[in-house]
Structures are given as C-alpha cells and as structure tokens.
Amino acid sequence: MYKKPIIIACPVCDLIHRVEEISHGNNAGCSRCGAVLLRKKRNSVERTLALTIASLFTFVPASFSPIITLKTLGEIRSNNVFTGVYELFMGGFPDIALFVLLFSVIIPLIKLLSLLYILTPISFNISAPGSAYLFRMYLSVNRWAMLEVYLIGILVALTKLGDIATVIIGPGMYAFIALIILTLFISLAMDSNEIWTRIEGAA
Amino acid sequence: MTSIKMTASSAGLASCHICRKLCNISEVKKYQVAKCPRCGAKVYSRIPGSITRTWALIITALLLYIPANLYPVMVFEKFGRSQGDTIISGVEALINADMWPLALIVFVASIFVPLLKIISIIFILLSVQKNWSWKIRQRTKLLRFVEAIGRWSMLDVFLISIMVALVKLGSVATITAGAGVRAFTAVVVVTILASKSFDPRLIWDKQSNLDVPED
C-alpha cells in the first residue's frame, strides 16, 4: 500500500497513471502499451544491502585472483582482468585498456560502493548527504557495467585455448561467477521507487 | 490503478528520466532548465534533440563499422611471422577448427548484433519521422530488445584482452591486439549512446498526434 497514490507517466508512451496499491512482488503495467510502470519488492532495501555487501566481498578475489592459468611449452601464465588490461595498455592500446577496465571493474565497483553508501543509512531511516546525486549516477551508469559479457568472453577463451594447451580454472573464476550471480540478484531485489521515496522522506 | 487519459506532455508535465517523478514544467520559459525536485536531474518533456542526435550517432556507428571489420582485431606472431585476423576471419578460423558454437557466439555478438542494432535504430528513426502508425508496440519492443543486446558486442574486445594476456610465449606464439579493435569498441559505445539518446515516447507521440515539442 502506498501512503498516497503515486501519479506516474509511462516511460514508453507517456500516458499518465494513478497507482494506489501494488502488492509485493507484482508490477503495475501501462494500460496502453504494457510497459512496466512500477514494481513493488519485498524488503528491497534490506535484501539489496545484504547482497551489495556480499558482492563487495566477492569483488576482491574476482578481480585479483587468477581466472585462467595456461600451461604450454613449459611456460605458465595466469590472467585476471588486470593482466588483460595491462597487456592491452603495453601493446599500444591504452584507450581500449581503459574501456575494458571501466566496463568490467570500475563501473561495477562504483555501483556497489554507491549502493552501500546510500542504503546503509536508509536502512536506519536516515538519508546520507549526496544520496540523491549518487543514486542518480547509479541509475545512469547502470547499463555500462558488463560483467556478464566478460564472463562469456572468458568461457570462449577457455574453450579456444583448451584445444591447444592445458587450461586450469583458477579461484578467480568462481569468485567472478559468484559476483555476477549476486549482482543479478541485486537488480532483481532493488526497488528504485522505494529508495527514492526513502531518500526524499528522510532528507 | 486507473489511467488519466492524457499524456504527460499534453498536461504540461514531464517525467524525470532518472527518478520518474512527474514535474510541472508548464511555467518553464524557453531558455530555462528545469531540475527535478526529488533527484536534481534535468527534466525535459522529451529528450532534447533526440532524433538529430540519434541520427548523428547511428551514422557514425555505421561508418565505424567498416574499419572495424576491415582492420585486423588480433595479430598472431608465430615464429617471426605476423598474421592479422579480422573479426570475420576469426570466425572462419573457429569454423575450420571445428568450434561451431564458438564461431556462432562470436559471429552473433560481433557481426550480427551491431548490424542489427544499427539497422533497427535507422528503421525506427525513419518510422517516426515519416509518421508511420502501424505496429507501434512491435517497434517499441524492437527498440527495447536492441538496447538490451547492444552491450554483448563488447564480448570480442574482452576476449581479445584475455587472449593477449595469456598467449605471450615469446617468438613461438604471441598475440597482440590490432587496429580494428579500436573501431569496433567505438561502434559498440556509439550504438549504446544512440539507443540512449532516442526517446521511445516519440514512437507513441506521432500515433496520438498530440502536441509535442519539435526537435
């Protein structure tokens, strides 16, 4: 139940709607084009916060521990996100190195840290300064985090190299998969409308 | 839940693109910028210059698509001999090595998806400018679909970053990135920006022939 009815415009066809209540786990859909107007999620702040903290813990091994170790012709080489970025940088492609770093490390990290900063006070019904600005940034930058794409890239590389050399999957791989699953759950558990209401209300 | 039979723009209201709050912009004068009272973002009825901006970005993407596929993206050095692989020849090599699923993944992510995205956005732009009113829902769905799959084209770039890190065996076998990867990354980034700059409400506006601010 919302304290007062929410008046919202459809993001796709712009038709105005008046939403009085949505039960947990359901959506309100636009009557003209069917787009989702609002979602109501149960315990969204607590669940999102818990998932964010868990994600931050997995973030460290996911980024730093070796993901693939290649054994061939007597040489052993390991890689993680950073070695890939480093080699691109040294190979004369600093710009691409930056993009890879941005999409697979920097932006996912910024998203997680922002959520931590915003949601921790919110779960105590206080709004930390700059929450609105940070959450705005979170929502703008959301689609530029490409962790799952990187994972498929790893799997393709694994298969390609597995054919010609011995490939060992390192701990980083499991942490990486865990991180992706956790961030997926974050996107499922997060109720942005609820967060905006709390930021606005507690400010 | 009920719908109020008006669009936001015809009621002098605008939906904040970040926090969705409905703001009253009827008092805003021509050169003023309205800010959302809840989140501070700029509020506008429709994305300003949406059609022009999207055209500029999508044409850029189309032009960049050519060098992205012509120039090699990965360079193999084997025993002193250098051989470049473009995206297409990379797919061919995977087919020849009997790795059909991989070839398919790379083909879809790096060749098919960007092209599909560019063509779809051009189609939707034209459909809005020529005021077509058929299949509105389908066009909306197409736009959403294309926006969701856009980022998957970065797959090839990530793959290259992994390969260059792992295959560094001196003069026996070394992989380095090629110039094509720059153009290709640019295509992915620019197409994502293009779908971000297109306001899906434009598809519906023309349908109801409501008074909307022109680009």
**ipTM, 2 decimals?**
0.91
Least Cα separation, residue A63 to chain B (angstroms): 13
- Reading chain A (203 residues) residue by residue, the pLDDT tens digits are 566 788 888 888 888 888 888 887 788 888 888 888 888 888 899 999 999 999 999 999 999 999 999 988 788 889 999 999 999 999 999 999 999 999 999 999 999 999 999 999 998 988 888 899 999 999 999 999 999 999 999 999 999 888 888 899 999 999 999 999 999 999 999 999 889 988 888 65
pLDDT digits (tens, 9 = 90+) for B150-200: 999 999 999 999 999 999 887 788 999 999 999 999 999 999 999 999 999
Packed helices A131-141 and A107-122: angle between N→C axes, nearest 10 degrees: 140
Residues 84-113 of chain B with CB under 8 A from chain A are 94, 97, 99, 102, 105-106
Least Cα separation, residue A197 to chain B (angstroms): 9
- 10 Å CB burial of residue B98 (0-12, 13-18, 19+) is exposed
Task: Round to whole Å and give the CA distance between A67 and A105.
Answer: 14
What pLDDT is recorded for position B212? 43
Which residues contact residue B175 at a Cβ distance below 8 angstroms, ignoring those fewer than 6 apart?
B74, B75, B76, B77, B163, B164, B167, B168
Residue B23 has pLDDT above 50, yes or no: yes
Report strand pairing: B42-43 vs B34-35. antiparallel
Residue B32 has pLDDT above 90, yes or no: no
What pLDDT is recorded for position B215? 37
pLDDT band at B115 (very low <50, low <70, confident <90, very high): very high
* Of B4, B94, B151, Cβ closest to residue A143: B151
What pLDDT is recorded for position B68? 95
Nearest Cα residue to A6 out of A163, A139, A154, A192? A192
pTM: 0.90
Task: Round to whole Å and give the CA distance between B62 and B43.
Answer: 31
What pLDDT is recorded for position B207? 65
Interface contact A12-B200, CB threshold 8 A: yes
* pLDDT: which is higher, B12 or B115: B115
User: Which residues on adjacent β-strands are paired with residue B137?
Assistant: none
* Of A9, A20, A161, Cβ closest to residue B166: A161
The half-sphere exposure of B215 on its side-chain side, counting CA atoms within 13 A, is 17
Q: Which residue bears the tokens 């051989």?
A: B83
B59: which 2 tokens?
């044409």
Task: Round to whole Å and give the CA distance between A30 and A39.
Answer: 12
Residues 128-157 of chain B with CB under 8 A from chain A are 136-137, 140, 151-152, 154-157
Asked whether the beta carbons of A68 and A154 are under 8 A apart, the reply is yes
Interface test with A, best of B158, B164, B199, B210 (most A CBs within 10 A): B158
* pLDDT: which is higher, A116 or B6: A116
What pLDDT is recorded for position B67? 96
Q: Which residues of B touch A180 (CB under 8 A)?
A: none
Least Cα separation, residue B131 to chain A (angstroms): 15
pLDDT band at B213 (very low <50, low <70, confident <90, very high): very low
